[in-house]
Structure 1
Amino acid sequence: MILFTRTLFARALPVITSRSAARTVVALGLATLLAACGTNPVTGKRELQFISTTQEIAMGAQAYFPTRQAQGGDYIVHEGVTRYVQRVNNREATASDRDLPYEIVVLNSSVPNAWAMPGGKMAINRGLLTALGSEAELAAVLGHEIVHAAARHSAKGQERGLLLQTGLLATQIAVAGEAYGGLAATGAMLGATLINTRYGREAELESDLYGMEYMHRAGYNPAAAIDLQQTFVKLSEGRQSGWLEGLFASHPPSQERVERNRETAARLGGADLEYGRERYKAAIAPLVKDQAAYEAHDNALKAARADDFATAGREIDKAIRLQPREAKFHGLKGDMALHKKQYQAANRHYDKAIGLYPDYFAFHLQKGVALQELGNDKAARAAFEKSNALLPTPNAQKALGDLALAGGDRALAIEYFSAAAAANSAIGQEAALSMATLELEERPGKYLKTRLARDQAGQIVVGVSNQSPVPVTRVEVSVAYFDQYGRQVSEVQRYPLRGSLPPGEQGVITTRLTDGSGLRAAVSSARIAKQR
């Protein structure tokens, strides 16, 4: 009698054993490499190009919004600042060697940084704008980033990964100086991979060179790039933390880059071209005026992390007095109230933050926590769903799974827990535990893996590995024989595993079978062991 379908049992993967087959694979690989050769649109050099322009644009478009969320959200208090940066970027983009849908936003982060994604999606942080001294220096930064996109630097990094057969890893987004930097943002994993790559020496020199050429074509004095790089070198020598965590982490400055920029500027000329110091000063004046408010916010955040809530309270109140229209100030005040378990007050502060900036995930996430503590599960669910729509995080997914489970929807709960469990974080581990608790007994083969081997007496033994986060007991393994076509040709025999099996451990079952040809094994049942 056949009790189980063949899908219960693991299949062996085919292995290439003949030399002719291996040669065929090599030949196909070489043909693929030759077909993937292309010309770099900026340098004119021949190179491998596995990722097409259409794919580059799609990659950037997919990752752009979630990455902006994970990096602090868009800066919207003075939208004229963003429009000004966009005008300068558009002016320089027209000088680019590659026609891409270039787009830039200003991010609401004090960390000095700028980045570009494949396909021309770009961002510059508020904290970098206040450190620049002229429009030409801004053009130097933007030209450099435009080259990273135009010359396929980030795309090349992805292609190297493809050649090494490596995939994207679940990455925790950690934004220095940001209140929500510790959240593992599953929706921004691709973006983190695209923008956190440390560019090599060749890519940086290339971006400096062609970026200065773009500056010159756009009418900016390329000597500003020398001033900019000299400033960066001095800051790196002083090892100022914000710069080390921001721009310098992916764009390391060097004296070599200063000298190369000096040579390029001498070749290009353009001493009579624009610096735009006064124009830049006027454009970012609102940022400069609000700088004291952001410094107070950053001080409050630092104090709160050190559990000095008296100082944190004074600093955040100061920030709000100086700039009451900044949503993140009210959000931090809500976080502080939430920490003190003042849930009604926290909810009011989050409502204020959401009223000023409704499209930032963290305000909705934290509001959901406060509402859940207040016992308003319906409103909490809506807040978590909004947060998860803006930026999927394991925090929101785990909370939504808990609410679904409380409402009796096991399938939806497992779906949310599964998404959250992908994160390499404490909340991801909690979600994995919740998911295993729900479905291990129904789907034991998902968590308990088997492997066939022989003991010293030549008998077949089955190794059972517990890959779940919970201990299991009453494990039963089913074995059966299959023919070369995958058809089951014997009755199923069941073997119990004695005792319990802790997480990460392996147990062994002796079958007393000696013929291993066509034999397959799978865990057919198990129970979660009660923990003392």
Structure 2
Amino acid sequence: MMGKSGKMDRREFLGLLGLSGGGLLLGWLGGCAVDPVTGRQSMVMLSERQEVEIDRRQAPHIFSADYGEVGNPVIRRYLEEVGRRLVRVSHRPDRPYTFHAVNAVHMNAYSLPGGTVAVTRGMLVELSSEAELAALLGHEIAHVTARHAAERAAQGALANIFLAGVGALLDSGGAGRLVQDFGSLGAGALLAHYSREDEREADALGMEYMVRAGYNPEGMVALTRILVEKGRERPDLFAQMFASHPPGEERLQTALRLAAERYASARGRPLLRERYLEHLFPLLRIRRAIHIMQDGLELMSKRRYREAENAFASALAQVPDDYAGLLMMAKVQLAQNRPEQARRFIDRARRANPTEAQAVGLSGVTWLMLDRPREALQDFVAYERMLPGNPDIVFFQGLALERMGRSREAAAAYQRYLNSGARGRKARHAWQRLKEWGYL
């Protein structure tokens, strides 16, 4: 990994900023069982205690990758209220469900095995009624009750997230390959890939739950129509997010049929538009800025960095203290190999949300790019205090110590990183250093 001079060259260093792909825990495999909700055999299951433990360990990292939770307490309480109403009529009402709004601007919702459910700002601003929100949350609750999320977890599908995926900063000497893995779509996107059969089951159960809870099934029809229309508007982003879902038109026709036949008697119920608009007003009033940030994400995914920068600048003119917007602007600066400019936006993000860890970790990476390992180490240590349990942060502590010439302390960090079970390029680097320094 080192050149003839014994020093790491720029390409080798930047290559180490890539995300290692392994899971954090997820080694629990059970036997084949029949799921009581779906009636089909499930090849891999976790105990309920293990499901909850996955949520406890993974959810904080996934939320941070999605730029943290929305701070507005009215929105938080509202999601909990609607979610609890659905949980009470679900097949697994005893699970410790929690409901969260996260700051990511792409359209997504996801659930973890133990009952953690999250919805992005980008999704919430597209809805217009509580019935639509109930359909969305019902779908995610169904993934939990049918144990789809547990199956995915047991198969290793939950990734070890660092900084929304610090990502492939470099592929061949420039910083242009940073963007997609750098968190354009965030960690929740990694959880969106169930089988098409799982998605069909979640749609059906979600509609069942919302009707049982007293909602109008037209909420599911409207939600599905939104997804179809947005998929046409942004086909590239939706191809990444919803590749495993059944075709949108199929889902829409199924929802229409179920609403007209099985749940026809519930179609006269109110959609509760006013309640939704009242509770979501703090987000809906910045909907235009969120849409512009979505434009920036789409441009980033196409590596049109200058245009993405302009989009984020336009959004930040409307919401200058938006934490997610500031960090996305920092990332597009890094994509153009401008770490000094990125620092300005990272510093603003840290002032906007001083308790959220992603900006702290991204700050450390930027200091490494500027060859200032001492400052980088301070940030990585601070990150670990704020959000412990991320092996990649331990690796970057080792890398900063190595670049400071403190090989003994670097070796301890690298050993701790390898003890986490990490694999891939960073693990090979850590192992090679330990071998060169006589620790192996």
The residue correspondences of 1:427-466 to structure 2 (distance < 5 A) are 428-429=425-426, 432-433=428-429, 435-440=431-436, 442=438
Q: Which residue of 1 aligns with 2:239?
A: 244
1:284 and 2:283 correspond: no
Can you list the C-alpha shifts for 1:299-342, whole angstroms capped at 9, x where unaligned? 55666785754x56654443233112312333345556666657
Distance (whole Å) between structure 2 residues aligned to residue 303 and residue 210 of structure 1 = 36
SS of residue matched to 1:124: strand
Q: Which residue of 1 aligns with 2:113?
A: 118
Moved more, 373-382 or 354-363: 373-382
Aligned-residue offset at 1:144: 1.0
Q: Which residue of 2 aligns with 1:145?
A: 140
1:204 and 2:209 correspond: no
The residue correspondences of 1:359-398 to structure 2 (distance < 5 A) are 359-371=355-367, 377-388=373-384, 390=387, 396-398=393-395
Q: Which residue of 2 aligns with 1:270?
A: 266
The answer to whether the 8 A contact 2:290-2:315 is kept is yes
Distance (whole Å) between structure 1 residues aligned to residue 101 and residue 225 of structure 2 = 24
1:90 and 2:84 correspond: yes
Aligned-residue offset at 1:156: 3.1
Q: Match of 1:321, as an amino acid?
A: A
Distance (whole Å) between structure 2 residues aligned to residue 352 and residue 414 of structure 1 = 34
Can you list the C-alpha shifts for 1:180-230, whole angstroms capped at 9, x where unaligned? 75249xxx7xx887x2432232x2232222221211121110122123224
Distance (whole Å) between structure 1 residues aligned to residue 105 and residue 292 of structure 2 = 11
Distance (whole Å) between structure 2 residues aligned to residue 394 and residue 54 of structure 1 = 23
Moved more, 43-52 or 277-286: 43-52
Can you list the C-alpha shifts for 1:340-359, whole angstroms capped at 9, x where unaligned? 6574x654543321122224
Distance (whole Å) between structure 2 residues aligned to residue 44 and residue 302 of structure 1 = 40
Q: In structure 2, which of residues 64, 70, 78 is the aligned counterpart of residue 75 of structure 1? A: 70
Aligned-residue offset at 1:150: 1.0
Identity level (%)? 28
Q: Which residue of 2 aligns with 1:28?
A: none
Q: Match of 1:245, as an amino acid?
A: Q
Change (3 A) 1:196 1:207: closer
Change (3 A) 1:295 1:391: farther
Can you list the C-alpha shifts for 1:47-74, whole angstroms capped at 9, x where unaligned? 6674222222222222211122223432
Change (3 A) 1:113 1:296: closer
Q: Name the one with the larger helix percent.
A: 2
The answer to whether the 8 A contact 2:179-2:331 is kept is no
Distance (whole Å) between structure 2 residues aligned to residue 439 and residue 333 of structure 1 = 39
Larger Rg: 1
Query: TM-score, normalised on structure 1?
Result: 0.62
Distance (whole Å) between structure 2 residues aligned to residue 102 and residue 145 of structure 1 = 11
Change (3 A) 1:233 1:286: same
Moved more, 113-122 or 52-61: 52-61
The answer to whether the 8 A contact 2:122-2:290 is kept is no
Q: Which residue of 2 aligns with 1:405?
A: 402
SS of residue matched to 1:328: helix
The answer to whether the 8 A contact 1:38-1:49 is kept is no
Moved more, 432-441 or 320-329: 432-441
Change (3 A) 1:84 1:243: farther
The answer to whether the 8 A contact 1:109-1:125 is kept is yes
Distance (whole Å) between structure 2 residues aligned to residue 167 and residue 105 of structure 1 = 21
Distance (whole Å) between structure 2 residues aligned to residue 375 and residue 142 of structure 1 = 45
The answer to whether the 8 A contact 1:198-1:249 is kept is no
Moved more, 299-308 or 256-265: 299-308
Q: Match of 2:105, as an amino acid?
A: S
Q: In structure 2, which of residues 206, 211, 215 is the aligned counterpart of residue 216 of structure 1? A: 211
The answer to whether the 8 A contact 1:135-1:275 is kept is yes
Can you list the C-alpha shifts for 1:82-105, whole angstroms capped at 9, x where unaligned? 332222112211221212111121
Distance (whole Å) between structure 2 residues aligned to residue 376 and residue 93 of structure 1 = 50
1:107 and 2:102 correspond: yes
Q: Which residue of 1 aligns with 2:15?
A: none
SS of residue matched to 2:268: coil
The higher relative CO (CA closer than 8 Å, separation ≥ 6) is in: 2
SS of residue matched to 2:282: helix
Distance (whole Å) between structure 2 residues aligned to residue 442 and residue 51 of structure 1 = 41
Distance (whole Å) between structure 2 residues aligned to residue 102 and residue 169 of structure 1 = 21
The answer to whether the 8 A contact 2:309-2:333 is kept is no
The answer to whether the 8 A contact 1:59-1:118 is kept is yes
Matched residues, number: 388
RMSD: 3.9
Q: Which residue of 2 aligns with 1:521?
A: none
SS of residue matched to 1:400: helix
Q: In structure 2, which of residues 317, 320, 324 is the aligned counterpart of residue 321 of structure 1? A: 317
Q: Which residue of 1 aligns with 2:171?
A: none
Distance (whole Å) between structure 2 residues aligned to residue 316 and residue 254 of structure 1 = 30
Change (3 A) 1:422 1:218: same
Q: In structure 2, which of residues 48, 55, 59 is the aligned counterpart of residue 53 of structure 1? A: 48
Q: Name the one with the larger strand percent.
A: 1
Q: Which residue of 1 aligns with 2:289?
A: 293
Moved more, 271-280 or 140-149: 271-280
Q: Which residue of 1 aligns with 2:352?
A: 356
Q: What residue ranges of structure 2 are gaps of 5+ in the alignment?
A: 1-29, 168-177
Can you list the C-alpha shifts for 1:244-293, whole angstroms capped at 9, x where unaligned? 222x2343344443343334332232123221122223333332321232
Change (3 A) 1:283 1:242: farther
Query: TM-score, normalised on structure 2?
Result: 0.73
